[in-house]
């Protein structure tokens, strides 16, 4: 590399549109990481280039191409939704550019390119944990409701298979569109079916609407519980959801209420830098993604280079605000704890309070 050349990270995120909170959280986390750890790594000045793909995969692809060809970025990162990550995977492969996936969470993403490394999570990881918890807590008959694309289909499949394995039943599986979803007709159907619970996955940003309509349709009063992946009780929105969210049980890899010193420090610093905005799981995916990039650059002695960086990302172990994290060298996917949490009110605020943990969960979606 040219002596003194900056190390460029092309961070492509949805900064506007339906997934804008994902972009806002990840950009803030990446900037916090740089503020805390400096903008020089192994002698290289780090330059963060943020681009808004509005969560349209054609835009993600166009921006990635431009960043690789014109800007000559050393690393691509971000990827707010699965279709964006899938659209960029061939570019990562052809240009030998590491692609650090900080948000998207369909299991198969890491198999789309040997240059993909993931710091977010996978839907199978969190869905299986909830399907183990439910039948032990008298929730045996469950209708599923997911957003109709990669992560939703993963959530539905892994929740359903595991619940059935545990002796439970899934009489109906409902899917809502990603763009402009209307949950009302689906919730009406669930009311008529009267299951013990409704299992929900929707992407970050859509949880508040689900929660509101669940309350408005009197589902809880009809005796139907809501259980979900933590995407629904998203820390970005949770505090504004109101009492309908109280006692909702979810499974996820990150809660802003995670009671570790490292997380307390992270949440405080994030809120201080962002007008009190509470970090969510997207922020943690972005923060940890920056760490993985920094550590990899250090390991190459500042030299970088796509294949060397990916090699240096594999096998990294560190303490994240979410708890211990391991980047599996075989799959390039994240291994971490999955927590069972319940929404509780503390000091007038709503939090996902962890009450159980399944340690070091690998993605169950990987065949090898
Ligand atoms: C994906 C997006 C989300 O906002 C989320 O919470 C989980 C998964 C995705 O598109 O992969």
> How remote is the CA of residue 256 from the centroid of ligand 1, in Å?
18
Residue nearest to atom 10 of ligand 1 (CA): 81
Q: 25: CA distance to ligand 1 center in Å?
A: 13
Compute the residue count for the chain.
368
Read off the pLDDT of residues 92-118 as tens digits, 9 standing for 90 and up: 999 999 999 999 999 999 999 999 999
**Tokens 């809120």 belong to residue:** 271
**Cα-Cα-Cα-Cα dihedral sign, residues 147, 153, 155, 157:** positive
And the tokens for 250?
A: 């979810």
- Interface confidence, given as ipTM, is 1.00
Q: At 277, phi and psi to the nearest 5? A: -60, 135
Cα-to-centroid distance, 233 and ligand 1 (Å): 13
Alpha-carbon gap, residue 154 to 188, rounded angstroms: 24
Measured from CB, residues less than 6 Å from any atom of ligand 1 are 22, 81-82, 103-106, 150-151, 203-204, 231
pLDDT, position 368? 57
From the alpha carbon of 234, which atom of ligand 1 is closest? 6
Q: What is the pLDDT of residue 2?
A: 58
Residue 79, C-beta contacts closer than 8 angstroms, at least 6 positions apart:
12, 60, 85, 88, 99, 101, 102, 103, 104
Element (H, E) at 121: none
- C-alpha pair distances (Å), 237 with each of 24, 27, 121, 124, 162: 13, 17, 19, 23, 29
258: enclosing H helix or E strand: none
Distance CA(222)–CA(358), nearest Å, equals 31
Probe target for ligand 1 pocket from 23, 26, 151, 234, with the most ligand atoms within 8 Å of CB = 151
- What pLDDT score was predicted for residue 3? 62
What is the spatial distance between Cα 150 and Cα 164, in angstroms, rounded to a whole number? 21
Residue 82 CA to ligand 1 center (angstroms) comes to: 7
Question: Helix (H, G, I), strand (E, B), or coil: what is residue 43?
Answer: coil
Phi, psi of 59, deg, nearest 5: -70, -45
Cα of 21 from ligand 1 centre, angstroms: 12
Residue nearest to atom 5 of ligand 1 (CA): 203
Beta partners for residue 350, in sequence order: 345
Q: Which pLDDT tens digit goes with each residue over 206-242?
A: 999 999 999 999 999 999 999 999 999 999 999 999 9
Ligand 1, atom 7: closest residue by C-alpha = 203
- Which among 203, 284, 333, 352 is the best mutation to test ligand 1's pocket, defined by most ligand atoms within 8 Å of the CB? 203
Give 303 Cα–ligand 1 centroid separation in angstroms: 33
Q: In whole angstroms, what separates CA 335 from the centre of its chain?
A: 13
Please tell me the distance between residue 203's alpha carbon and the centre of ligand 1 in angstroms. 5
CA distance 136 to 139: 7
Ordered by where they begin, the domains of the chain are 7-121+259-332 (3.40.50.2300), 123-252+338-361 (3.40.50.2300)
Q: How would DSSP label each residue in 91-124?
A: HHHHHT--EEESS---GGGGGS-TTEEE-S--HH
Helix (H, G, I), strand (E, B) or coil at 90: helix
Nearest-CA residue for ligand 1 atom 3 is 203
Q: Pick out the chain residues at pLDDT < 70.
A: 1-3, 368
Ligand 1 centroid distance, CA of 120 (Å): 9
**Measured from the CA of 84, which atom of ligand 1 is nearest?**
10
Contact 151, 106 (CB under 8 A): yes
CB 80, CB 283: distance < 8 Å: no
Task: Give residue 4's pLDDT.
Answer: 75
Listed in sequence order, the residues at least 6 apart from 185 whose beta carbon sits closer than 8 Å to its beta carbon are none
């Amino acid at each position: 590399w040219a002596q003194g050349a900056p190390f460029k990270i092309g961070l492509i995120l949805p900064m506007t549109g339906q997934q804008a909170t994902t972009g806002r959280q990840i950009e803030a986390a990446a900037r916090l990481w740089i503020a805390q750890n400096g903008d020089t790594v192994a002698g290289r000045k780090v330059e963060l280039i943020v681009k808004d793909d509005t969560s349209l995969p054609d835009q993600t692809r166009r921006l990635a191409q431009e960043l690789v060809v014109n800007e000559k970025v050393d690393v691509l990162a971000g990827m707010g939704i699965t279709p964006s990550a899938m659209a960029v995977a061939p570019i990562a492969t052809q240009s030998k550019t590491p692609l650090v996936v900080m948000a998207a969470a369909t299991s198969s993403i890491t198999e789309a390119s040997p240059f993909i490394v993931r710091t977010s999570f996978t839907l199978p990881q969190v869905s299986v944990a909830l399907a183990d918890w439910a039948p032990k807590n008298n929730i045996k008959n469950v209708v599923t409701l997911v957003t109709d694309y990669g992560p939703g289909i993963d959530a539905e499949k892994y929740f359903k298979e595991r619940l059935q394995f545990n002796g439970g039943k899934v009489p109906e599986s409902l899917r809502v569109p990603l763009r402009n979803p209307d949950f009302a007709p689906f919730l009406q159907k669930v009311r008529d079916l009267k299951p013990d619970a409704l299992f929900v996955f929707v992407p970050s940003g859509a949880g508040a609407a689900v929660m509101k309509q669940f309350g408005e349709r009197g589902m809880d009063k009809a005796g139907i519980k809501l259980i979900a992946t933590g995407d629904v009780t998203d820390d970005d929105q949770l505090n504004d959801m109101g009492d309908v969210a109280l006692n909702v049980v979810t499974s996820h890899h990150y809660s802003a209420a995670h009671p570790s010193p490292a997380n307390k420090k992270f949440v405080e610093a994030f809120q201080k830098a962002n007008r009190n905005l509470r970090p969510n799981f997207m922020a943690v995916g972005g923060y940890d993604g920056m760490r993985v990039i920094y550590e990899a650059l250090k390991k190459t002695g500042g030299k970088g280079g796509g294949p060397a960086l990916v090699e240096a990302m594999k096998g990294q172990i560190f303490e994240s605000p979410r708890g211990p994290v391991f980047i599996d060298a075989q799959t390039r996917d994240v291994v971490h704890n999955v927590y069972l949490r319940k929404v509780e009110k503390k000091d007038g605020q709503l939090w996902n309070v962890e009450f159980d943990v399944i340690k070091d969960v690998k993605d169950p979606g990987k065949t090898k």
